[in-house]
């Protein structure tokens, strides 16, 4: 098998984001291969841990992928303050005589947004709604590259995840778990300090809030789970996520002072994309009065370029308003109306780009997460659950198709659902040895035995 076939067979997807199938992303050539080790969101520990613990595997993985891409430059980009991780990576680079550059970033959010990272590393701006390969770059997450190395050298499939559990726990921990482990079990292993809690799957800015107990019970580790934040149910971030869009629209009408801070600090605005959230906010009250498609696009078309980073709502706005949610809402309306907004394919970075970066420490204070800041995971605990549930959709695109039935015996690494080749999709493998106890439309449950 060549590299792409091996990656597809192993079911590797982008480990740090939405789960884009890696065999599709890497089926190209590129000038730059960039490894995103910036740990974009506050509090997350996973990529730092992987850089320290698996520096050698990461460096060898970069060499494999860069050779395949025929990349002229290989770069591992991470924050300059990650001294231990940089030291580990430099030692591995030297040991392997690898032509890999370490790119040290400032500590700002969203340093790990791949379009921002590409601009910082290459000086090039990815087109609106484009991807890094549009400007000659491929960006992969640390966990993805280590997964590729393990697939190529050991034939491993994607069956395990490293993730951090932070927030209201005795101390932050790293966990190594079979994919499909219940989120409750992960939290229990980290010893939560409150009995009633809500969680955020991912980071505090872009992660998914799950507040209801019965919904938390239904969450499982997937290929893209990298972090769990445990928070009291009345924490600012949980309460804020519960505000309805009608309330947000009402607040906008009465409180937006048009200061335009949301626009000036917007990372996509700063790399030259056409996005001015203050104008969307200015026009929100007129939504129902707009009759023509042209007028609607003129008023709200910019919202389509919002990447959902949340800076405007969590940091910029002095009035506590939510341009992000207004943008999400308007994106939906643009789709409903069938409006296609033209793309700017040649955005130019603004001269203020480096002056408008949001320092992570100030953001953490604004998010009311200060008490968890600076605590790090020092131990990694391996969990061995009694059962796992493997969703068929752990990636962007079409769900995988079950190839096992209830009662089948499986071993870790066996294919249990194959990629649907009629679209973007990926293979899913058993993460434990056991017996399939249930196959539902959503996924497959395996009882360890
Ligand atoms: S930052 Fe807030 S108050 Fe200022 S323009 Fe944006 S939404 Fe309005
Ligand atoms: S969430 Fe706000 S700051 Fe982020 S891209 Fe969208 S408009 Fe810009």
DSSP letters spanning 91-160: HHHHHTT--EEEEEEPSEETTT-HHHHHHHHHSPPPPTT--GGGGTEEEEEHHHHHHHHHHHHH---S-E
Residue 433 is predicted with a pLDDT of 98
The token pair at 145 is: 């590259």
Q: What are phi and psi of 338, to 5 degrees?
A: 70, 30
Tokens of 162: 């490293």
**Closest ligand by atom to 265 CA:** 2
pLDDT at 379: 84
Atom 8 in ligand 2: which residue has the minimum CA distance?
Answer: 266
Q: Would you place residue 18 in the very low, low, confident or very high pLDDT band (cuts 50, 70, 90)?
A: confident
pLDDT band, very low/low/confident/very high, at 301 (cuts 50, 70, 90)? very high
3-state SS class at 11: coil
Which is nearest to 160 in space by CA: 139, 172, 146, 171? Answer: 146
Is the Cβ atom of 262 under 6 angstroms away from ligand 1?
A: yes
CA of 303 to the centre of ligand 2 (A): 9
Cα 267–270–272 angle (5° rounding)? 120
Residue 161: closest CA among 133, 188, 141, 138: 141
CA-closest residue to ligand 1 atom 1: 317
Nearest to 206 by CA among 307, 354, 302, 304: 307
- Mean pLDDT check: name the lowest of 13-17, 102-106, 311-315, 399-403: 13-17
Using the predicted structure, report yes or no on whether residue 121 has a pLDDT greater than 90. yes
| Average pLDDT along the chain | 96
Of the candidates 305, 308, 296, which has an alpha carbon nearest to the alpha carbon of residue 338?
Answer: 296
pLDDT band of 321, cuts 50, 70, 90: very high
261 lines ligand 1 (CB under 6 A): yes
- Predicted pLDDT of residue 1: 84
Number of CB atoms found within 10 A of residue 33's CB: 26
- 258 CB under 6 A from ligand 1? yes
* Distance of CA 354 from the midpoint of ligand 1 (Å): 21
Beta-carbon contacts of 131 under 8 Å, excluding residues fewer than 6 positions away, are none
Which atom of ligand 1 is closest in space to residue 259's alpha carbon? 4
Instruction: Quote the DSSP letter at residue 289.
Output: G
Q: What does the pLDDT look like over 204-248, one tens digit per residue?
A: 999 999 999 999 999 999 999 999 999 999 999 999 999 999 999
The 8-class DSSP code of residue 304 comes to: G
338: alpha, beta or left, given left = phi > 0 and alpha = psi -120 to 50? left
- Taking the centre of ligand 2 as the mean of its atom positions, its distance from the CA of residue 361, in whole angstroms, is 19
Average pLDDT of span 189-200: 95
pLDDT at 199: 98
Please give the average per-residue pLDDT across 46-70, as a whole number.
97
What ligand has the least distance to the C-alpha of 278? 1
The answer on pLDDT for 40 being more than 90 is no
pLDDT of residue 98: 98
User: What is residue 343's predicted lDDT score, i.e. its pLDDT?
Assistant: 96
| 195 Cβ contact list (under 8 Å, min separation 6) | none
Whether 378 shows a pLDDT value over 90: the answer reads: no
Domains, in order of start, for the chain:
3-154 (3.40.50.11540), 254-344 (no CATH), 386-449 (2.40.50)
Residue 17 has pLDDT above 80, yes or no: no
Q: Is 80 exceeded by the pLDDT of residue 190?
A: yes
Q: Which atom of ligand 1 is nearest to the CA of 322?
A: 7
Residue 281 Cβ < 6 Å to ligand 1: yes
User: In this structure, which ligand is nearest to the CA of 261?
Assistant: 1
Q: What pLDDT is attached to residue 148?
A: 98
Whole-number pLDDT of residue 276 = 97
Ligand 2 binding site (Cβ under 6 Å of any ligand atom): 266, 268, 275, 277, 306-312, 323-324, 327
Cβ–ligand 1 contact at 377 (below 6 Å)? no
Rounded mean pLDDT, 150-163: 97
Q: Write the residue with the smallest CA distance to atom 4 of ligand 1.
A: 259
Q: Tell which residue, 110, 116, 112, 130, has the closest CA to residue 304.
A: 130
Cα 41 from chain centroid (whole Å) = 9
**Helix, strand, coil content of the chain in percent (nearest 5):** 35, 20, 45
What are the tens digits of pLDDT across the range 395-409?
889 999 999 999 999
Q: Which of 242, 333, 320 is nearest to 284 (CA)?
A: 333
- pLDDT-based confidence at 36, cuts 50/70/90? very high
303 alpha carbon, closest ligand: 2
Whether the pLDDT of residue 16 is over 80: the answer is no
Kindly identify the ligand whose nearest atom is closest to the C-alpha of 255: 1
Q: For a substitution probing ligand 1, which of 253, 258, 329, 366 has the most ligand atoms within 8 Å of its CB?
A: 258
In tens, the pLDDT along 260-277 reads 999 999 999 999 999 999
Any residues with CB less than 8 A from the CB of 116 and at least 6 apart, and which?
A: 110, 267, 271
Torsion angle in degrees (nearest 10) through CA of 218, 219, 222, 228: -170
pLDDT at 416: 98
d(CA 128, ligand 2 centre) in Å: 13
The closest-lying atom of ligand 1 relative to the alpha carbon of residue 260 is: 5
CA of 327 to the centre of ligand 2 (A): 8
Q: What is the pLDDT of residue 376?
A: 82
Mean pLDDT of 55-70: 98
Determine the pLDDT at residue 152. 98
Choice from 271, 327, 328, 331 to test ligand 2 binding pocket (greatest atom count within 8 A of CB): 327
Mean pLDDT of 105-130: 96
- Per DSSP, helices labelled H in 201-292 are 213-216, 236-241, 245-255, 261-264, 267-270, 277-283
């Amino acid at each position: 098998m060549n590299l792409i076939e091996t990656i597809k067979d192993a079911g590797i997807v982008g480990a740090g984001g939405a789960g884009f199938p890696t065999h599709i992303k890497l089926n190209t050539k590129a000038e730059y291969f960039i490894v995103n080790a910036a740990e974009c969101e506050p509090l997350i520990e996973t990529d730092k841990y992987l850089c320290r613990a698996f520096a050698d595997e990461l460096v060898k993985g970069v060499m494999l992928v860069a050779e395949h891409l025929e990349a002229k430059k290989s770069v591992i980009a991470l924050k300059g303050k990650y001294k231990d991780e940089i030291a580990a990576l430099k030692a591995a680079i030297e040991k392997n005589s690898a032509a890999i550059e370490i790119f040290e970033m400032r500590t700002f959010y969203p340093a790990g947004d791949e379009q921002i990272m590409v601009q910082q590393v290459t000086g090039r701006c990815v087109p609106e709604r484009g991807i890094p390969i549009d400007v000659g770059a491929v960006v992969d997450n640390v966990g993805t590259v280590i997964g590729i190395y393990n697939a190529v050298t050991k034939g491993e499939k994607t069956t395990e995840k490293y993730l951090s559990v932070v927030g209201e726990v005795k101390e932050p921990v790293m966990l190594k778990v079979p994919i499909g482990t219940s989120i409750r079990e992960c939290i229990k292993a980290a010893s939560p300090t409150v009995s009633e809690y809500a969680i955020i799957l991912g980071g505090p800015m872009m992660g998914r809030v799950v507040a209801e107990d019965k919904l938390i019970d239904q969450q499982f580790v997937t290929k893209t789970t990298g972090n769990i934040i445990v928070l009291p149910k009345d924490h600012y971030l949980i309460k804020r996520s519960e505000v309805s869009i009608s309330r947000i629209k009402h607040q906008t009408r009465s409180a937006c002072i048009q200061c335009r801070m949301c626009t000036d600090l917007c990372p996509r605005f700063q790399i030259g994309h056409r996005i001015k959230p203050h104008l969307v906010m200015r026009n929100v009250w007129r939504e129902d009065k707009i009759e023509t498609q042209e007028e609607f696009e003129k008023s709200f078309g910019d919202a389509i370029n919002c990447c959902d980073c949340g800076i405007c709502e969590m940091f910029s706005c002095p009035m506590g308003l939510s341009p992000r949610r207004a943008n999400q809402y308007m994106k939906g309306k643009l789709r409903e109306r069938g409006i296609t907004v033209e793309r700017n394919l040649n955005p130019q970075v603004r001269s203020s780009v480096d002056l408008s970066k949001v320092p992570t420490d100030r953001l953490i204070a604004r998010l009311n997460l200060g008490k968890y800041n600076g605590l790090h995971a020092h131990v990694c605990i391996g969990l061995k659950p009694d059962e796992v549930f493997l969703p068929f959709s752990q990636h962007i695109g079409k769900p995988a198709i079950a190839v096992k039935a209830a009662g089948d015996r499986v071993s870790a690494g066996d294919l249990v659902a194959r990629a649907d080749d009629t679209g973007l999709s990926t293979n899913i493998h058993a993460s434990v040895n056991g017996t399939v106890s249930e196959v539902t439309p959503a996924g497959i449950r395996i009882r360890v035995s």
